[in-house]
Amino acid sequence: MSLDPTQANGGARTETLQRLRAQLHRAATSPANLPRVFGLTPAELRQELIGVLARLCTEQGVAFSPDDREILAQEVVNQIVGYGPLEPLMRDPDVSDILVNDYRNVCVERGGVLYRTDVSFPDEESLLTFITRMAERAGRRIDTAQPMVDVHLPDGSRLNAVLRPLSLRGPTVAIRRHRPDVMRIEDLVRTEALTPEMAEFLSRAVEGRANLIVSGGTGAGKTTLLNALSRFIPHSERTITIEQTAELQLQQPDVIALEARPPNIEGKGEVLVRDLFKNALRMRPDRIIVGECRGGEVFDVLQAMMTGHDGSMSTIHASDTREALQRIELMVALGGVDLPGRAAREFIAAAIDFVVHVQRLSTGERKVMQISELSGLRDGAFCLEDVFIYEQRGIDAVRGRVVGDFRATGYRPKFLERLQALGLPLPRAIS
């Protein structure tokens, strides 16, 4: 909730609000008061600011109701210890992403669809101050010499910011909200991202230590699906997760989470995903989950999949399962590994069992579009067989939802033989 400066006396009221807000902010953040302010809880700080505001209103002859004073005090509290104008959006459980294109233009994603909000910052300087404060709180720095930053916020959300001159419209921010409640496979079935039969098949694949690659575009739900599938890793196994930015939330008792580190302001101290992966192999993992393959680390992931770390998983950006394999082949080549084309494809085919493709559709719905088994090579090309697919027929104009069907193709995966050897139940849909 925020005060509406257009009410009552229009422009004069706007100026009064801005002046009082600035005076409150200066009073709370003065060098003499700042150490004490940070020792207060937000509620205690709000009460003190309400008292200061009452005194200012009396001195300046400004008539503000107690409710208005509380609202204004809360806005200043949000500026100092919270998320400023973004505070209501950060508290909205339906918001998955907050996108500040410039200080006047803030959008959010709800249910996979972007919406323009009426939220804004007073000016560009206020937005820059907010970005700087968020970076400093995370122990990072952002300025003209280092105009990009990617940090974790106190609630676990991830903030990425870019300043001028890289961002031509001025400071810009993208916040990926952290969700403390991990989506389960049952939740994905309930939202019709996949069918119960597909969920059972994937759970059996994880239990049977299949090596999985989850592909999809940005915001398609790759990490969400990976989190849901990780639930089926037995609690007796030791799992190590490796990410550029930590998002996975495994629930097993024996999980080690590793996160890459960017270089400091002097350009030193960088730790790459590939460095973490090599170290993880010395930590006696049963499985390794790499949040996303982006470069040369894909070769290390494939090697681990082939050398005693069955059941490992990762994600990759791609538009379908076949393109995912092509991108992996390209990353192996660009990673400095001297393998002829066919040898690289044989290496990939020997390591990966299934590729699962997820997609965010035009309506904002997320669907598992393909579950495909990589069964080897045929005439030097990947032999990729769809086990399940989603076929879209159109969009229901009334409900605003996609019309389509999930379908088992009838293909019997070779992986079923491994499940039988392990004594695990076969998925009912294709047993």
Contact 250, 273 (CB under 8 A): no
pLDDT at residue 8 in the model: 44
User: CA angle at residue 247 from 292 to 350, to 5 degrees?
Assistant: 30
- Phi, then psi, of 388 in degrees rounded to 5: -135, 145
For residue 2, pLDDT over 50 is answered with: no
CA atoms within a 13 Å half-sphere pointing along the CA-CB vector of 235: 3
Instruction: State yes or no: cis peptide before 165, omega within 30 of 0.
Output: yes
- Percent of the chain at pLDDT > 70 equals 94
Taking 50 as the threshold, does the pLDDT of residue 247 lie above it? yes
DSSP state of 84: G
Q: How far apart are CA 123 and CA 250, in angstroms?
A: 41
Longest dimension (CA), the chain: 86
Please say if the pLDDT value at position 37 is more than 90. Answer: no
In angstroms, the CA 297 to CA 317 distance is 15
pLDDT of residue 139: 81
* % the chain with pLDDT above 90: 51
Give 154's pLDDT tier (boundaries 50, 70, 90): confident
Report angle CA 160, 165, 169 to the nearest 5 degrees: 75
Give the model's pLDDT for residue 34. Answer: 64
Region 243-261: mean pLDDT is 90
Amino acid at 301: V
Ramachandran class of 219: left when φ > 0, alpha when ψ lies in -120 to 50, beta otherwise = left
Q: In Å, what is the CA distance from 1 to each residue of 107, 148, 210, 228, 269?
A: 17, 31, 49, 35, 43
CB-based contacts of 176, cutoff 8 Å, min separation 6:
96, 97, 157, 158, 160, 247
For 341-361, write each residue's pLDDT tens digit. Answer: 788 999 999 999 999 999 999
pLDDT (tens digit per residue) in 330-342: 998 887 777 787 8
Domain segments of the chain as ranges: 11-81, 86-176, 185-422
Residue with tokens 């100026």: 15
> Is pLDDT of 13 > 70?
no
Q: For residues 129 and 183, give the distance between their C-alpha atoms in angstroms, rounded to a whole number.
A: 34
246, 257 contact by CB (below 8 A)? yes
| Nearest partner of 161 among 137, 197, 184, judged by Cα | 137
What is the model's pLDDT at position 1? Answer: 36
Angle between helices 42-60 and 66-81 (to 10 degrees): 130
Q: Quick one: which of 259, 160, 255, 217 has its CA closest to 358?
A: 217
Pick among 3.40.50.2000, 1.10.230.10, 3.40.50.300, 1.10.287.130: CATH of 185-422: 3.40.50.300
Where is pLDDT greater, at 235 or 111? Answer: 235
Structure pTM?
0.81
Position 423 pLDDT exceeds 60: yes
The answer to whether residue 145 scores a pLDDT higher than 70 is: yes
- Whole-angstrom Cα distance, residue 88 to residue 176? 15
In whole angstroms, give the CA distance from residue 37 to residue 352: 55
Picking from 313, 324, 260, the residue whose alpha carbon sits closest to that of residue 286 is: 313
The reported pLDDT for the residue numbered 340 is 81
Q: Are 290 and 352 in contact, with CB atoms under 8 Å apart?
A: no
User: Minimal CA–CA distance to 229: which of 206, 251, 260, 248?
Assistant: 206
Instruction: Give the chain's mean pLDDT.
Output: 87
Please, which pLDDT band fits residue 43 given cuts at 50, 70 and 90? confident
Mean pLDDT of 383-407: 92
The CA radius of gyration of the chain, in Å to the nearest whole number, is 26
CATH class of 86-176: alpha beta
Nearest to 292 by CA among 213, 374, 202: 213
Per-residue pLDDT tens digits for 166-180:
999 999 999 999 877
Q: In this predicted structure, what is the pLDDT of residue 12?
A: 64
Question: Is 60 exceeded by the pLDDT of residue 405?
Answer: yes
Q: pLDDT digits over 71-106, tens only? A: 888 877 777 777 888 988 998 989 999 999 999 999
* Residues facing 239 on adjacent strands: 255, 287
pLDDT for 14 beyond 90: no
